[in-house]
């Protein structure tokens, strides 16, 4: 297993909406991706993280650099795979492992 990976994400936080609404929104975005929508385009339009302007790209990162729930999900993905909703203290994420 690699010590470093690269991933992008889409974040829907709980600060502007209820937890339930954030989850519903992230599930809707996952359905769009599953139907062929471009991850980077959706990140740019919908992510609550500043990385959205870069298509959600977080760059390369190693273990211990992200919160544990995010890290565990990201490292479990195959390159090119998109996670289901991942809950962290920041809200709900979709993670796309890109490298």
Tokens of 47: 């992510």
Residue 48's domain comprises 4-97
Task: Check residue 14 and give its pLDDT.
Answer: 83
Length of the chain in terms of residues written: 99
Task: Check residue 2 and give its pLDDT.
Answer: 63
Per-residue model confidence as pLDDT tens digits over 12-58: 998 889 999 999 999 999 999 999 999 999 999 999 999 999 999 99
Q: Is the pLDDT of residue 1 over 80?
A: no
Q: Is the pLDDT of residue 62 over 90?
A: yes
Q: In the 8-state DSSP scheme, what is residue 99?
A: -
What total of structural domains would you count in the chain?
Answer: 1
Task: Check residue 16 and give its pLDDT.
Answer: 83
CATH assignment of the domain containing 15: 3.10.50.40
How far out from the chain centre does Cα 62 lie? 16
| Pairwise CA distance, residues 15 & 17, whole Å | 6
């Amino acid at each position: 297993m690699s010590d470093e990976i690269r991933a992008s994400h889409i974040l829907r936080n709980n600060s502007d909406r209820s937890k339930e609404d954030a989850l519903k929104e992230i599930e809707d975005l996952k359905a769009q991706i599953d139907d062929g929508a471009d991850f980077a385009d959706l990140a740019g339009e919908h992510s609550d993280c500043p990385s959205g302007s870069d298509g959600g790209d977080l760059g390369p990162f190693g273990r211990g650099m992200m919160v544990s729930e995010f890290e565990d999900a990201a490292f479990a993905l195959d390159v090119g795979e998109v996670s289901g909703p991942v809950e962290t203290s920041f809200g709900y994420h979709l993670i796309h492992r890109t490298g």
